[in-house]
Structure 1
């Protein structure tokens, strides 16, 4: 296969991964927000699903979640893992895929990282360095 066709094929595959991940994200978020899972932990914690990353073969979905306020993360992960087969079946019913992808749940730590960087930027040392750079320009 010529290189330009390989590149286009790879690009289409990556686009498909992103598209399917977004569809899965919507499906799982809807199931959780509508109270479709009968689990006391999942019913009493509001959970956001910021991202779902699909493997290249679309057989594995890594679902990034964040409970409201970042509380009860371990309990929520355990409850999601315990209800994984129901969520997988329900998501597969809503999303038309050849295979229902296996689900893996992870806490989305991007919010924590962004907050850490924001705090770092507000420290006196960084503020001094930023001021010094702007004075030099």
Structure 2
């Protein structure tokens, strides 16, 4: 009779589980709705449009790392401070909107993917890269 491994499969060990991804997406939608509707009575948050591109969940689903970016990328530190100040209220709102056994603790981080994409875009536009790209296309022709 074949033995079945009781450990985690190799696919889930390398990345987030399906459940983590699903709960993260539910919390992302809830956070985006709360921030878009102006549910938080904070002058800093009211003065910014904030996107929530991603929420990463811990394996036990008790910690949610919420990645945020104010539109235009301005005042990120002030927005993070305002979100941290209103963390308890936001956690309660998320708990009302997402049906989980425990409301996860919220941790806020700036989403730096936009900056990284811009940096790569600038690199691709440099003359050296353009020269290499043009020489590759000339070689293939």
TM-score of the aligned structures, taking structure 2 as reference length: 0.90
Tell me the alpha carbon deviations over residues 29-81 of structure 1, each in whole angstroms, 9 at most, x when there is no partner.
11111111000000111100000000110000000000010001000000000
Q: How far apart in 1 are the matches of 2:94 and 2:49?
A: 19
Q: 2:120 corresponds to which residue?
A: 117
Tell me the alpha carbon deviations over residues 70-125 of structure 1, each in whole angstroms, 9 at most, x when there is no partner.
00100000000000000001101110001110000001110111111011101100
Q: May I ask how many residue pairs the two structures share in their alignment?
A: 136
- Between Structure 1 and Structure 2, the one with more helix by share is 1
Q: 2:95 corresponds to which residue?
A: 92
Residues 68/135 of structure 1: CA separation in 2 closer, same or farther (3 Å cut): same
- Is 1:81 aligned with 2:84? yes
Unmatched 5+ stretches in structure 1: none
1:8 is displaced (CA, Å) by 8.9
Tell me the alpha carbon deviations over residues 17-36 of structure 1, each in whole angstroms, 9 at most, x when there is no partner.
00000000000111111111
Unmatched 5+ stretches in structure 2: none
Residues 1-137 of structure 1: pairs in structure 2 closer than 5 A? 2-3=4-5, 6-7=8-9, 10=12, 14-137=17-140
